Homo-oligomer: A and B are copies of this chain.
C-alpha cells in the first residue's frame, strides 16, 4: 500500500516509483507523544525529518525559561536544525511535538547517498531550501515591521489550519507578541 509519504512525493515531484521506493526504504519511522522532544538543545541533529502526521515546533528556551517558537512544521513538511545537521555541531534549538506526531527520519549518510544517486531528489531538496529562505525573509520582515494585528492576520492567512491546533501561548511566542496582546486581538476580531 502506498504510504502518505509516497503519495506526497508522487504529487510534489516527478520522481519515478523506483526512486520513491528507494527513498522510502531508507526512512526510519518514529512516533512522538505530545510534548516529546525529537531533538534536545545540545544534541547534534543527525536526521532529516518528514512529518507524516501531527505537528512539530522548532523552538529555543532562554536562560529565564521562556520559550520562543522559530517555526511550526505540520504534516507533509520537513524539518531539522540545518546548522547542526550540516556542521555536526550541538544544536541551539529543540524540536518537539505539539500533538502526537508520526515522523520519518533519514540518517545523514543515507540521505546524502540518495541525493547523490537521484538528481531529481537533489533538485526537489534545493527547491525546499529555497522556499524556506523566501519564507524566512518574509517572516523577518513581518516580525520587524508589522503591528501585532498584522502579524496575527499574516499567520492566520498563511496557516489557516494551525490556529485551532495550537495553544495560544505558542502562537504568541511565534509572533513575538505577548499572550495578553494576542488575546486582545482575538477578542476584538470576534466582535468585528
| Stretch from A21-29, A113-121, A138-146 forming part of the interface with B | A138-146
Interface: A186 (CB within 8 A) = no
Q: Which residues 64-87 of A sit at the B interface, judged by CB distance below 8 A? A: 66, 68-70, 82-83, 86
**Residue interface bits A48-70, CB-to-B below 8 A is 1, else 0:** 00000000000010100010111
- In the complex, the answer to whether A144 meets B70 with C-beta atoms within 8 Å is yes
Tell me the bound Cα distance from A92 to B141 in angstroms: 10
Give the residue of B66, B70, B133 whose beta carbon is less than 8 angstroms from that of A140. B70
Q: Tell me the number of copies of this protein.
A: 2
Q: How large is the interface on A (under 10, 10 to 19, 20 to 34, 35 or more residues)?
A: 20 to 34
A16 within 8 Å of B by Cβ?
no
Q: Are the C-beta atoms of A143 and B141 separated by less than 8 Å?
A: no
B83 touches A137 (CB 8 A): yes
Chain B nearest CB: distance from A148 CB in Å?
13
B145 touching A66 by the CB < 8 A rule? Answer: yes
Bits for A138-164, please: 1 = Cβ < 8 Å to B, else 0: 111101110000000000000000000
* A68-B141 contact given A82-B130, A86-B130, A130-B86, CB 8 Å threshold: yes
Cβ of A176 within 8 Å of any chain B Cβ, yes or no, is yes
Closest B residue, CB atoms, query A61: B145
Known: A136-B136, A136-B140. A145 touches B68 (CB 8 A): yes
Given A62-B145, A86-B130, A136-B137, 15 further pairs, Cβ under 8 A: A68-B141, A70-B137, A70-B140, A70-B141, A82-B130, A83-B133, A83-B134, A83-B137, A92-B138, A93-B141, A132-B133, A133-B133, A133-B136, A140-B143, A144-B173
Closest 3 CB pairs of A and B: A83-B134, A68-B144, A68-B145
